[in-house]
Amino acid sequence: MPNVKGHAERKSFARIKTVHDYPDFLDIQLQAFRDFVQDDTAPEEREAKGLQAVFNEHFPIQDSRERYTLEFIHFALDAPKHSIEECIAQGLSFSVPLKAKLRLSSKEDEDEDEAEEAIEQEVYLGNLPFMTERGTFVINGAERVVVSQLHRSPGVFFGHSVHPNGTELYSVRVIPFRGSWIEFSTDVGNMMWAYIDRKKKLPVTTLLRALGFSDNEQIVQLFDLADSVTVKTKKAYSKVVGRKLAATVSIERITEVVDEDTGEVIEDRVEREVILPAQHELEEADYDKLKEAGVTLIHVVREVDEEKADDAVDYTTLLNTLKRDPTHSEKEALEYLYLQLRGTEAPDEETARGVLERLFFSEKRYDLGEVGRYRINSRLRINEDQDKLTLTREDMVAIINELILLQNGKSTLDDIDHLGNRRVRSVGEQLASQFSLGLARMARTIKERMNLRDAEKFTPQDLVNARTVSSVINTFFGTNQLSQFMDQTNPLAELTHKRRLSALGPGGLTRERAGFEVRDVHYTHYGRLCPIETPEGPNIGLISSLCVHARINDYGFIETPYRIVKKGKVTNEVKFLSAEEEDSAVIAQANAPIDGKGNFINKLVKCRHRGDFPIMDPEDIMFMDVSPNQIVSPAASLIPFLEHDDANRALMGSNMQRQAVPLLRSEAPIVGTGLESRVAKDSRAVVVAEEDGVVEYVDARRIVVRYDQSEDEALLSFDEPVKTYDLTKFRRTNQDSTVNQSPIVKEGDRLTKGQVLTDGFSTDKGDLALGKNVLVAFMPWRGYNFEDAIAISERLVSDDVYTSVHIEEFELQVRDTKRGEEELTREIPNVSEEATKDLDERGIVRVGAEVKPGDIIVGKITPKGETDPTPEEKLLRAIFGDKAGDVKDASLKAKPGMKGVVIDTKLFSRRKLDPASKKEEQKQITAIDKQLDKDLAELDARFWEKFFALLEGRKAADFIDRNGNVVVSEGAKITKTALKDTPALQLDPRVPFTADEDLNANVKTLIRNYEKRHRLIHGIAKRDKHHLQMGDELPPGIVQLAKVYVAKKRKIQIGDKMAGRHGNKGVIAKVVPVEDMPFLEDGTPVDIVLNPLGVPSRMNLGQIYETLLGWAGKKLGTNFATPIFDGATVADVEETMKKAGLPVDGRAQLIDGRTGKPFDQKTTVGYIYMLKLGHLVEDKIHARSIGPYSLITQQPLGGKAQFGGQRLGEMEVWAMYAYGASHVLQEMLTYKSDDVQGRSKAYECIVKGENMPEAGTPESFNVLVRELQGLGLEVSLD
């Protein structure tokens, strides 16, 4: 990272130089969405993936008689109607209108070849939520993230189980992307069955017959199981006596079915007669049976050579299945299959064949996906075409053969948890499948409309219903388990949420079903999934994070980079390997010692091969890790000395960093890992210079930068070199924390590309800064730090060290009710002047006002009439105004515990349609149109100037426009005159303008940039018009929407949770006056006292290393970077302590602030980076006197949000029994709970000062009685 002014460079302890830079940490989201929409690609150049592939899959659509055909030409995305900021403020979705160009062709008669006429039209298909540059979606005003899903890859999987009687059973499952599952498995009787969709069961040989291998001979020959023997003579037969038959010997007999009354032959019935069954051992006597039946060719089981016995494969399973197969021909097999699937007999052979075809061989119904085909080809070692996305007969045979090899121990089982068998469904793929669902529904309605409109003229617009697609997409973003409300507590939380991989969600696992194996760390996770960062609860192991260097390939498999090792020499060449490719590789660790030329220094090198760690000769090594932190995620990479922490505590450390609340003043850690600046940049929390340039203007709200442009860039680009960055000031995040950016550059500063211009929330001079460096002592302090509790100095409170600002949003809707419109006002009935003193004339609290519990934030009155007013009453009210008693107070008031300052208010109103405003609106629209024409004329002038600067006077090659018309004939010179009638948008960037390829590439770039700018100018004008005509967009029935933002300053206090980065968490138990805190010999009081007993059993010694190095860094004024697994050693820490003139063991003599006497022993002291977590006591503390009750049980509700009570459970009742407190217990179970009459009487008695009444019947008893009555039991209380 370039050195930012005022930014102390970190001193790094790293020994290994990096050869591979980190990818953009948000690429997993951004790239997936880019591939989905391909909006930067010209329509004709788009690849068949994402949205394009979905359209290609569902179009063309034809009616049942093939008279009408609706074809897809291309799609386009318009500019969004609202900016991201407007969407967040008004509760809208940030989306772009999706339009598709469709062609409808019709024929008079279905037999005609040529279409009579074709109508092309652009059709609106709804709004598509668009990803922001931060990798998020704004849905209904809230930022959401679509989490990538880790699911089982399509393909073929071989499994194994053991029957209770000890028999080993083998199975294989073929999982497609879309379509029916098929499974082959062996059973206890050594037969093989096929299961279709896990229910329908049939012998595997029946399926083979149905696939076209109709007779036994074909099946036997297919697997090369038998020798065919001619037995025309007794001598020839005698050679096979004693051998087993491979296939049943049978003959067909034709019998005539005769009508008894007329003697007429009704039909010839074919009956099959079995002469000798399969697996029958041939005897001498059988020859006569064969001769009599006229059989001359039989198939006997092939005998195994004794020499090749080890390599032989036993096909008994298949032969047994053949013996038990109820069918004997393709026709019978198809009919049997139809009967199993449909439960009825097949009308004819063709229908039955059609069912099988549709199951596995129809491209519409069955899709393996590119991944599935790739996996099947590699697993079965076959060379089927990669574009063949359905199963083939050959696939089926290869699968059965592989299963038999597996049964014979000649093949290997698949490990379902291997990352070669699990793939990532990113945002793009999830959206594509939802889109496919919507388009399939739309295609159905289009077909229906085509069939209904017979010989009628209609256009594509008439056929398409845009709601179909958008409702599916909206449902996905609103309710899908993987579309989640973004965790925005701090930049790291944001980044981690976007890089998360979940095994849950639709088509994935469920918490209850997932066993230990799925959750466990697998050797293929190395460099792909972080073994540390995962939740602690029921989701442990099911939700993981992507490693720092990992990326996702085109098939959805996770890849990780390695340095290539050639003949024992490490090169700087890097190759990405998937888990499957890595299985055959031998890989050295990143910290294996190598010399300057890349040779391994040690004779034997410690390596990794699959799950083993052999010590190998350098010549046998194929790859080497690129970096020691390759195996963990960014969050775990931020923990210094991670190598000294127990994994369980590191897990807590990486999870708790995400909960750190942004503080009033951020401070970067003294001891970091070097990844802090990268995380801050990639989380998009800071503004970064896009190119080299100069700062032209700076204030608190904006930065203006003039970027350098080369001559070529200036010629080909339409972008202005000056760019203005508006900084975010006090914006509320999803978790109520505050985003406030401030500039860290000065006017006139020279910038380099990638330089940080601002500090965001939780960043300090471009470094991620989640907490504060504070002086810590490890010692007990009067019992206040017992069991992980923390004692802190009052300085942390008074100096606002751990003070954070939280912004809460309050919203009030003004509706149009049946009894009249509600109204925002400060004139509220029965409310004192004092209570409304801070409200403005609109009834909204003024900015800067202090808000306390019960204060009115927004004043609103609602009509109260018991009945709906008549038209006459409405007229009278309009003339004379409402009576005071006709309205009631419906104001928004501050909740209990609320205390803060109003920092912003917003009021959105629906547009009023009076003539004056309509006239004004028309005037403004005309102005917008004029400005648009002016901007486009300027753009065209600039374009032609640049175009002729490149091409004027050059000889034309194949210069044609988009319609195929020749603009300049070949060989002629390109001049302004030749092009005077050609609009710029008609130029086709794909054609070769001249013979010079480089020049053509420049012209192509120029035209593409022009088109992009043209779209942008149109988009801005369209958006401005939309704002004018629509006003503020509000949901139906809502007239106005008021929003008030209140900032709360939270100082640290008793009950708040704090933590270090090593999983060392605790709750503040005591705020100690500064003068009472233990202090160093130079008089410096410590800030925090931690319990030393929290270290040994937790085994997170990283915090001790950090304590010492932090102290040295503070003393030397240096920040350190100690990358994980390649950081400072004990010797490095000791040397740094000596340099700083501090005790090498980090132990100092502390003096007790209360007595002034030194403590008995020396204490470990130093600087630790401590975080304040989002679990703030002020948000949790809660008390209830009276409040809402549950409707049925009449018991108080639970939870702070419902203003509920504390549950007195079964065990608490036992405790009351133990104390014999019968009266208190009775009150708890009656008045204070669900005795409805009792509680109102108790209230009366308290008011009147009388004795408490007798308790009545609890409502829960009545509920029980009613339950019994509901069961038809008469309950009487005597």
Q: What CATH number is attached to the domain comprising 133? A: 3.90.1100.10
Question: Taking residues 521-537, what's their average pLDDT?
Answer: 95
Identify the sign of the CA torsion 1031, 1037, 1040, 1042. Answer: negative
Q: Answer yes or no: are the C-beta atoms of 357 and 341 closer than 8 Å.
A: no
Give pLDDT tens digits for 579-628: 999 999 999 999 999 998 989 999 999 999 999 999 999 999 999 999 99
Question: What is the rounded CA–CA span in Å between residue 407 and residue 399?
Answer: 12
Q: Which residues contact 898 (CB under 8 A, 6 or more apart)?
A: 808, 851, 852, 853, 1046, 1048
Q: What pLDDT is stored for residue 258 in this prediction?
A: 67
My answer on whether 1025 and 1173 are in the same domain is: no
Does residue 1218 fall inside a structural domain? yes
Residue 961 falls within a domain, yes or no? yes
Residue 169 placed within a domain: yes
SS3 state at 850 = strand
Quote the pLDDT of residue 455.
62
Burial of 1061 by CB count in 10 Å (0-12 exposed, 13-18 middle, 19+ buried)?
A: buried
Predicted confidence at residue 299, as pLDDT, reads: 76
Say how far apart CA 634 and CA 678 lie, in whole Å. Answer: 9
pLDDT at 564 exceeding the cut of 90:
yes
Q: Are 718 and 1010 in contact (CB under 8 A)?
A: yes
The verdict on 295 and 309 lying in the same domain is: no
Same domain, residue pair 933 and 946: yes
- Domain assignment present for 583: no
Dihedral sign for Cα atoms in the order 364, 368, 374, 376: negative
Given 1148, 1178, 1208, which residue is the final one in a domain? Answer: 1178
- Answer yes or no: is 1250 within a domain: yes
Query: What digits encode the pLDDT tens for the residues 191-231?
Result: 999 999 888 889 999 999 999 888 777 888 787 777 777 77
Helix 27-37 vs helix 50-58: crossing angle, to nearest 10: 40
> Domain with 885 in it: what CATH number?
2.40.50.150
| DSSP H/E element including 71 | strand 68-77
Question: Which pLDDT band holds residue 749 (cuts at 50, 70, 90)?
Answer: very high
pLDDT tens-digit profile of 171-186? 999 999 889 999 999 9
pLDDT of residue 476: 95
Average pLDDT in the 917-922 region?
78
Taking only the tens place, the pLDDT of each residue in 644-660 is 999 999 999 999 999 99
Other beta carbons within 10 angstroms of residue 485's beta carbon come to 13
What's the whole-model pTM score? 0.89
Instruction: Evaluate whether residue 809 is within a structural domain.
Output: no
**What are the φ/ψ torsions at residue 52 (nearest 5 degrees)?**
-60, -45
pLDDT > 50? residue 1: no
Residue where a domain terminates, one of 1147, 1162, 1178: 1178
The CATH code of the domain that includes 1149 is 2.40.270.10
Distance CA 1132, CA 623 (A): 30
- Pick from 409, 419, 192, 455: nearest CA to 310: 409
> In the structure, what pLDDT confidence band is assigned to residue 270 with cuts at 50, 70 and 90?
low
- 119-160 confidence digits (pLDDT tens): 899 999 999 999 999 999 999 999 999 999 999 999 999 999
Asked if 98 and 128 touch (Cβ cutoff 8 Å), the reply is yes
Task: Using pLDDT thresholds of 50, 70 and 90, give the confidence band for residue 482.
Answer: very high
Please report the pLDDT score of residue 1211 as a whole number: 96
In whole angstroms, give the CA distance from residue 919 to residue 263.
98
Least confident of 800-804, 880-884, 1154-1158: 880-884
Distance from C-alpha of 59 to C-alpha of 105, rounded to nearest angstrom? 13
For residues 189 and 323, state if they share a domain. Answer: yes
Give the integer Cα–Cα distance in Å for 142 and 132: 12
Shared-domain flag, residues 127 and 195: no
Judge if 310 and 409 occupy the same domain.
Answer: yes
In a domain, 256, yes or no: yes
Q: Is pLDDT above 80 for 63? A: yes
Task: Indicate whether 1006 and 975 sit together in one domain.
Answer: yes
Poorest-pLDDT segment among 23-32, 116-125, 1150-1159, 1216-1225: 116-125
Are 374 and 434 contained in the same domain? no
Residue 830 pLDDT exceeds 90: no
CATH number of the domain where residue 376 is located: 3.90.1110.10
Q: What is the DSSP letter of 279?
A: T
Query: Above 50 in pLDDT, residue 630?
Result: yes
Q: 379-382: long-range contacts at Cβ-Cβ below 8 A with a sequence spacing of 24 or more?
A: 379/155, 379/156, 379/414, 380/156
In the chain, how many domains are there?
A: 7
> Is the per-residue pLDDT at 1049 higher than 50?
yes
Q: Please determine, for residue 306, whether its predicted confidence score (pLDDT) is greater than 60.
A: no
Q: Which two tokens stand for residue 1063?
A: 């999983």
Residue 1066 sits in which domain range? 770-794+1053-1178
- Cα torsion through 916, 917, 921, 922, rounded to 10: -20
Identify whether residues 269 and 317 lie together within a single domain.
Answer: no
Residue 195 lies in a domain: yes
| Same domain membership, residue 332 and residue 192 | yes
- Between 39 and 149, the more confident residue is 149
> Across the chain, what does the average pLDDT equal?
88
pLDDT at 110 exceeding the cut of 80 = no
1126 and 1201 both lie in a single domain: no
- pLDDT tens figures, 1164-1194: 999 999 999 998 888 888 888 888 998 888 8
1057/113: higher pLDDT: 1057
Confidence of residue 3 (pLDDT cuts 50, 70, 90): very low
Pick 940 or 517 by higher pLDDT: 517
- For residue 768, what pLDDT is reported? 95
Q: Which of 3-17, 528-542, 1137-1151 has the lowest mean pLDDT?
A: 3-17
Mean pLDDT is lowest, of 3-7, 486-490, 542-546, 1233-1237, for 3-7
CA–CA dist 307, 330 (Å, integer): 38
* Domain's final residue, options 999, 1030, 1061: 1030
pLDDT greater than 50 at residue 1112: yes
Beta-carbon contacts of residue 254 (< 8 Å; ≥ 6 apart): 268, 269, 270, 271
Give the percent of the chain with pLDDT over 70.
Answer: 95
> Same domain for 1058 and 1144?
yes
Q: How far apart are CA 303 and CA 1233, in angstroms?
A: 84
